[in-house]
Amino acid sequence: MSSMILGARSQARIVGVGESPLGKVPDLSALQLQQAAAQAALDDAGLDWSDIDGLLTTPVRVANWAMPCGVVAEGLGIRSPRYLATLDVAGASGTAMVHQAAMVINAGQCDTVLCVAGQNLLTHSARADAVKQMAEGGWAHPQFEAPYGPLIASLYALVAQRHMHEYGTTPEQLAEVAVAMRAHASLNPLAQKRTPITVDEVVSSRMITSPLHVLDCALVSDGAAAIIVSRADRARDLRRRPVEILGQGYGFSHAYVGPYERLTATGAADSGRAAFAMAGVRPAEIDVAELYDCFTITVIVELEDLGFCAKGEGGAFVQGGRIALGGALPVTTHGGLLSACHPGLAGGMFHVIEAVRQLRGECGERQVRDARLALAHGNGGVIGIHCTLILGTD
Amino acid sequence: MNHPLKALSDSLTAPWWSHLERDEFAMPRCLDCGRWHFHPQPRCPHCGGTSVVWQQASGRGEVYSFTVVHRAPSPAFATEVPYTIGIVATEEGPHLMTRLIGIAPDAVRIGLAVRICIGPMIGDGPPLALFQPDPDRASGLACPAS
């Protein structure tokens, strides 16, 4: 039985975070973007490439890598890792990578694990191609769903339509999420879309798949992210204040959305319950929540299922700027997938990076005052798989 | 019959296509617990049983959710937009994704009574399990896909 099960404190700490140039970066390949992100995280931590003895990455869509962790280890010159793996829990990969790096540290397998992922998704394909590739990416079942012609956005639109039916959620409430994310992105120099938008602009933007408009949908971006997890005793000597994973949890309900019979209830309820129990804190104690925001409806169901409000009240919860900076619960303060950056599976890593920076007090204009407890949440598939982290500083 | 979708099928999913070719709507049913499920799985998702058979279902259900697609996911669908994708809660229990036909997109509502309509969705495409307003429970309509 591991010491973790007996309740001993985790020895893993997040010691460095970084990203490549984000948005449209036509002159860098996936591997170059990952190199840039990893270098930024090493510089942030005050570590050298030779300190890295573990590697976690994700698959990419822009290149035919049969063995992503091997390609990345070779490309980044990580010559004798004591652990390496390719992780894929879809959109939950960002939070899950960090948790699994911590497990590797706590198992004594490695001293310092680099989590790195990203790609030039925007540049690789014209947007139309990217949409087609994603639509054919298997998110809809190839035989039982894809033949009817759904976009990925359609799969989330089915959730949104049902949520509106059951709880009276409105398009304007969905739009509030997009407005808050854009307001946050306007304060993030790295964000892809920084011009503020209004609820009216969201609901009058082009309808993609009802009830979701184009501004209810995430971006497609170039970019990579890196997060370095090391041991507490080493973290003390490094450049930044270490960040600890106080709790984590996973939740799973379904692989495909068509057969899922409770379309408005997600595995975030399980992942959140487990994470809060482990951390010994309640939702009301969270200072900032970096929630996965692939579509506006995603944030609303996460707020409910993570326990920030009652089921069905997510629409009312996001109204009046309550999830914007200065509101009751600042959510996804870097601008998220909706306005900052979404290069595929790496997208959820930016939520963890922002949580770390908020806890260190480095966020400048978008800093949440006295942020001591942060939640980062990843959602994968079509609300099917979830990983929640609760983070704090020593 | 050979078509691209049937070419994707395997021993778990082939009965879906062979039933549709015979103009039959069938779903897997567990002999251990008696409950229906969809998609087909190696073990019954309700009881874990492995004695599963395909049985013809009523083809009746109601709209559980829907979305009107305005932007085609690929050129193959470009001439069809806008169209309505629905999730139908079948009388037998399982939910399934489908195309809702025979009704204007802006007339679709959650709870609408629908029934199966097996036919090609596009031109000479393979027979698919489409759904339309139920002529017994709503205004009568011929199956536009047949």
Structure tokens at A310: 């009652």
At A290-316, the pLDDT tens digits run 999 999 999 999 999 999 999 999 999
Reported as a pLDDT band with limits 50, 70 and 90, residue B145 is: low
Nearest by CB to residue B87, choosing from A135, A142, A158, is: A158
Reported as a pLDDT band with limits 50, 70 and 90, residue B142 is: low
Put simply, the answer to whether B73 touches A157 (Cβ < 8 Å) is no
Q: A349, A227 in Cβ contact below 8 A?
A: yes
Cis geometry, peptide bond prior to residue A21 (ω within 30 degrees of 0): no
- Mean pLDDT, residues B30-58 taken together: 97
A150 contacts in chain B (CB < 8 Å)? 67, 69, 73, 85, 97
pTM here is 0.95
Sign of the Cα torsion B3, B9, B11, B16 reads: negative
Q: A119, A265 in Cβ contact below 8 A?
A: no
Structure tokens at A30: 């996936």
Reported as a pLDDT band with limits 50, 70 and 90, residue B143 is: low
Q: What is the DSSP string of B33-68?
A: T--B-SS--SS-TTT----EEEEE---EEEEEEEEE
Put simply, the answer to whether B66 touches A158 (Cβ < 8 Å) is yes
- Mean pLDDT, residues B38-56 taken together: 97
Is the pLDDT at B23 greater than 80? The verdict is yes
Nearest by CB to residue B9, choosing from A143, A159, A207, is: A143
Report mean pLDDT in 10-residue bins for chain A, 394 residues. Answer: 57 98 96 98 98 97 94 96 98 98 97 97 75 74 95 97 98 98 98 98 98 97 98 94 97 97 97 98 98 98 98 98 97 98 97 98 97 98 97 90
Is the pLDDT at B146 greater than 60? The verdict is no
**Closest CA–CA distance from residue A272 to any residue of chain B (Å):** 24
**CA angle, A123 as apex, B80 and A95 as ends, to 5°?**
90
Is the pLDDT at B139 greater than 60? The verdict is no
Cβ-based interface (< 8 Å): residues of B facing A = 5, 8-9, 13, 16-17, 37-39, 64-77, 80, 83, 85, 87, 89, 94-99, 105, 110, 121, 128
Cα–Cα dist A231/A113, whole Å: 9
ipTM value of the model?
0.94
B76 contacts in chain A (CB < 8 Å)? 149
pLDDT at B101: 97
Put simply, the answer to whether B66 touches A151 (Cβ < 8 Å) is no
The closest alpha carbon to A231, from A15, A8, A4, A391, belongs to A15
pLDDT at A138: 86
pLDDT at A54: 98
Neighbouring CB atoms inside 10 A of B40's CB total 18
**A149 CB within 8 Å of a chain B CB:** yes
Reported as a pLDDT band with limits 50, 70 and 90, residue B136 is: confident
Put simply, the answer to whether B73 touches A148 (Cβ < 8 Å) is no
Torsion angle of alpha carbons A38, A40, A41, A44, nearest 10°?
Answer: 160
